[in-house]
Chains A and B, each alone.
Chain A
Amino acid sequence: MPRRTHIQTTLNGEEIDFLCEPRQSLLEVLRDELGLTGTKEGCNNGNCGACSVLMDGRVVNSCCVLGVEAEGAEVVTIEGVADGDTLHPLQQCFLEEAALQCGVCTPGFIVAAKALLDSEPDADEGRVRHWLAGNLCRCTGYDKIVRAVLKASEMEEVSA
């Protein structure tokens, strides 16, 4: 077995550590070593965005990041988006706008959209469509996803 490296990182606000092989992606570590299966694998080569997580506030495809690269980083996954029992406005708006069908791309969309609204709370439709072009959804045709993100952007909690 390849030698495993000890990694310390902040995951969803909590300081944690884990062991991982150099060949393991962050996606694999999250899902298989840490049991956080909310982050999904759709293509494993950075083209679908289902595995989107935030790393130091930036959206990354966790399939294209090595687990060892999480050393010292702040990582936020879909499991860290809600505040306890209180859903993030994006999560609430995805529910209200029926912006998910099968739901497998949803965690990636919510994480990616959160990164957008964190930095650009007033993003318009064109900006939302441009920003989310790295996330594939095959069920919805994006209409209701875009509406949900725009609706969330209008809620106070996001810009606060």
Chain B
Amino acid sequence: MTTTEKPDYKVIGTRPIRPDGVEKVTGKALYGADIHLPDLVQGAVLRSPHAHARILSIDTSAAEAMPGVLAVVTHSDLPVVADKVLDMGEGASTASDMSKNVLAADKALYRGHAVAGVAATNVHDALTAIEAIKVEYEVLPPVLNVQDAMRDDAPLLDESRHSKTPTGEESENASNVAAHNRFEGGDVEAAYAEADVVVEREFDTKMVHQGYIEPHNGTANWNSDGTLTVWTSTQGAFAVRGALAELLQLPVSRIRVIPMEIGGGFGGKIGVYLEPVAALLSRKCGRPVQLTMDRTDVFQATGPTSGGHMKGKIAVKDGKITAAEVSLAFEAGAFPGSPVMAGAMCMLSPYEVENFKVDAYDVVVNKPKVAAYRAPGAPNASFCVEQLIDELARETGADPLQFRLDNSAHEGTRMITGVAHPRIGQEETVQAAQASDHYQSPIEGPNRGRGVAGGFWFNAGMQSSVVASVNPDGTVNLIEGSTDIGGTRASLAMQLAETLGIEYDSVRPTVVDTDSVGHNDVTGGSRTAYASGQAVYEAGLDIQQQMVARAAQLWECEAEDVEYADGGLRHTSDSEKAMTFAELAGKQMETGGPLQGRGSVVARSPGAAFGVHVVDVEVDPDTGKVDILRYTIAQDVGTAVHPAYVEGQMQGGVVQGIGWALNEEYYYGEDGRMENASFLDYRMPTSLDLPMIDTIIVEVPNPGHPYGVRGVGEVPIVPPLAAIANAVHDATGHRFTELPISPRRVVEELHNLQ
């Protein structure tokens, strides 16, 4: 569906086969765990069995003496690093915290926290050896949720940490609250006093994992000349390089990170876990070392996203939202850095809200340090806000989509940050959902219900850099540095083909290592098709300009008399003079040598994404099982470069949201042990749990991109939690304010009502 007229593109909007496709369907593509290097040895990591414990001593001597063991490392092998903030692209951490997360220092702060690493001639010897490492712990009481962690008498994860208050000061007493921020505007109390209806509720969500199928891996070779090569599956090779440079105190130029194919990330493969340990082990034993995680490690020791506690109070008068007061407290895990600020800034952004007061608490708990997860923070916060909006629509007798449309933000509406929206597609997206066959069809039958919810995500811009080499036969090699997680080789090659007016098949994209292209920020923040696409466009223009100059040279005329159009060069007044792209590409030697285009950008106008979801459910009152009967997602994507991969992002995000809503949670025992750290017990949706996911592509072009591209990947996970809760409410009359809405919870809560 096209909402706005768009130019007549030749390549953009088609659905070609991705350049890396054949390798991936034949098993030839090499992911991080697939590489075999000469002299490669394997490693294993010893992890804390306690959620909170002081490490009194570590004795590695017995492990070091075991057959096959080549090296053992602990935190003491890492250099001391400063409290410098490392911005990894999606989420920042201090180098000091990251160093303590990679290998625990004086304290183990969650079960699964890495304590020591071993390299051995094979993985079985390494696994045997870690059991021989003797660690003396003083076990401490863990804090496992934000309410407990915020109590005055709570055990402290870090006795020296004070809270940053909204005024920028430090709290008097040490605290597990790393930061408290506030956004305030207008007068909420006055609005409440005048309101027709005010609704107020509290909500809780649990920690959940990105659930990528490929476990983390890291392979490192530390050469005797002090250079380090790392092979890893990462969303950002340059982010890994930067982190390693800080953690290992090496010059950036000495580190080469080779990005392998990546088996999913969703934000969880931006930070470093194994790479620094593999590097230290390699330095000690003089051989390349490979570390891989098992699934339990992935759950317990990599970054999930926050659970948390939320309080919301929203008022309406004459059908308009007049005030919103929301307090969010999110688990950061063992070190500060939850996505609570992102959640706070996103949840009200689809709407006009004049009076607001939003509090955001970043709280450390004895769980793994959270990482980004697809629109980090926004799904939780929208679980709160979009349910309150549903309730307001019901109480005022309004249709829930019309209520959202009547309150929609538009160009010029200020978000709570004070920033005004540029041209956005919120209204068009709500209207597309309203007009959908799904929303127009009635839902009938007992225990069935329909829910809707909206969502917003900023999308990121950041830095991208590409080089495009023109070959003598008229093909082009596109050298880029953005990890391809879901088809960006295709979407970038398409944008270059469009810019140059050549065939998609003439462009061959390759993702290269950190030595081979300029800096590229992470594939995250839904930025790659947008920002790297902009860099590709710049490279295409660069080639066009150089070709114009070369044609002018061949035709002995001024460059102004030559134009680049329709994939070729032509003289503006002499129709005899024309050359195709390929013809001029074949004359490089006589026109100045190899022709390369460059594009380097700091993309600053990402164009926000809005999504509106409609879902029908059926609730089995006996078993508590919630079935998804039908699901429709409408989303403004700006311009769909490759519509099939756009749909794929939308469908994948929705299904992760369905899992989050209905089944997924980190289930903890009182001792801080995650009791469901396997794919058997941490139940992600399977094909059997789902219907087809219907997609409505809305295209309101982003004025900040040459082809109108907006980020697509993240916003689809924002609305499902609330949309499903609203549908379950519609089906049962009961509002579920705590996730997941699992069979156990449904049976318990419905039973308690009776």
A residues contacting B by CB (< 8 A) are 21, 23, 31, 35-45, 47-48, 50, 77-79, 81-82, 87, 91, 94-98, 100-107, 110, 128-130, 132-147
Contacts and interface: CB of A to CB of B under 8 A. Distances in A.
B651 interface: yes
Main secondary structure of the interface of A (DSSP, over half): loop
B660 to A, nearest CB: 12
24 contacts: A21-B124, A23-B124, A36-B27, A40-B31, A40-B213, A44-B295, A45-B680, A48-B679, A77-B27, A91-B26, A95-B21, A96-B17, A102-B214, A103-B25, A105-B263, A129-B687, A129-B690, A130-B688, A133-B688, A138-B211, A138-B213, A143-B647, A144-B648, A145-B687
A25 B654 CA distance: 35
Main secondary structure of the interface of B (DSSP, over half): loop
Contact of A47 (B33, B651, B678): B678
Contacts, number: 188
A113 B292 CA distance: 28
B269 to A, nearest CB: 10
Interface of B: 15, 17-18, 20-22, 24-31, 33-34, 36, 124, 210-215, 261-266, 292, 294-295, 485-487, 642, 644-645, 647-649, 651-656, 678-680, 684-688, 690, 692-693
Given A47-B678, A133-B688, A41 B27 contact: no
B675 to A, nearest CB: 16
B651 A38 contact: no
A35 B28 CA distance: 11
Given A44-B294, A79-B26, A134-B686, 16 more contacts: A40-B213, A40-B263, A45-B295, A47-B679, A50-B214, A98-B645, A103-B261, A129-B688, A129-B690, A132-B686, A136-B679, A137-B687, A138-B656, A143-B690, A143-B693, A147-B692
Contact of B18 (A23, A81, A98): A98
A48 B263 CA distance: 13
A21 to B, nearest CB: 8
Contacts of A146: 687, 692
A109 to B, nearest CB: 9
A138 B684 contact: yes
A105 B213 contact: yes
Contacts of B212: 102, 104, 138
Contacts of B17: 95-96
B648 A101 contact: yes
A39 B26 CA distance: 10
A128 B25 contact: no
A56 B642 CA distance: 40
- Of B24, B264, B485, B688, the most chain A CB neighbours within 10 A belong to B24
Contacts of A36: 27
A31 B30 CA distance: 12
- Of B17, B214, B266, B649, the most chain A CB neighbours within 10 A belong to B214
Given A143-B693, A144-B651, A101 B266 contact: no
